[in-house]
């Protein structure tokens, strides 16, 4: 078992050194499919912001409201 783990450790070390020695991707761009993938999630996040903003504004209005319902105080509710 000890030799197996030692062998696996050396494989990881040799594999990592080969990966670091490889050339980078020069001149490659994201492509249209990658752009659509990122754009889809940007649209999802943007549409989530609209209801969140509406709810936040409603909470602020509820917190800072100064008027009381006159019927609630008259009937002891």
Structural domain range at position 50: 31-65
Residue 76, pLDDT above cutoff 80: no
In a domain, 35, yes or no: yes
In a domain, 18, yes or no: no
In a domain, 36, yes or no: yes
Q: Which two tokens stand for residue 73?
A: 């105080």
Residue 8, pLDDT above cutoff 70: yes
- Helix or strand run (H / E) with residue 5: helix 2-21
**Alpha helix ranges (H) inside 26-74:** 32-63, 70-74
In a domain, 38, yes or no: yes
CA distance 15 to 22: 11
Q: How many domains does the chain have?
A: 1
Residue 31: the pLDDT is 87
The pTM for the full model equals 0.42
């Amino acid at each position: 078992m000890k030799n197996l783990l030692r062998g696996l450790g050396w494989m990881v070390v040799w594999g990592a050194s080969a990966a670091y020695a490889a050339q980078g991707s020069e001149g490659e761009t994201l492509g249209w499919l990658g752009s659509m993938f990122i754009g889809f999630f940007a649209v999802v996040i943007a549409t989530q912001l609209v209801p969140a903003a509406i709810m936040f504004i409603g909470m602020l209005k509820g917190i800072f409201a100064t008027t009381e319902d006159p019927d609630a105080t008259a009937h002891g509710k």
